[in-house]
Amino acid sequence: MLRAEGAAVAAGATAEVRGLSAVATTFSGRVKAARSVPVDGRAGAVWARGGKPRVVFDITVHNGRIVAIELIADAERLAALELRVLEA
């Protein structure tokens, strides 16, 4: 499942997408600019522009599988997250 909070929806994301194939299609060709980052110590990714995080992909993993992704674009929520960009 992919869920986008209000600011991400306002920026053009779909509010909710369900199913492996539908989520994969949503990300197809769009996620290339995102970089892996721990989000508050959990799996995640960030899309940044001009060095500033614009969208965070907060990923929930259960039994080794991604079961949910939340897109976060709200400036206050982004500022409250602990993000550490990993080097390529």
Domain ranges of the chain: 2-80
Residue 53 Cα distances to 25, 56, 62, 81, angstroms? 23, 7, 26, 10
pLDDT value of residue 30: 74
pTM of this prediction?
0.86
Is a pLDDT exceeding 90 seen at residue 10? yes
If pLDDT is split at 50, 70 and 90, which confidence band does 32 have?
Answer: confident
pLDDT value of residue 80: 92
Give CA–CA dist 76/62, Å, rounded.
Answer: 27
What order do you get walking across the sheet with 2-4 strand by strand?
16-17, 2-4, 65-72, 52-62, 44-49, 35-36
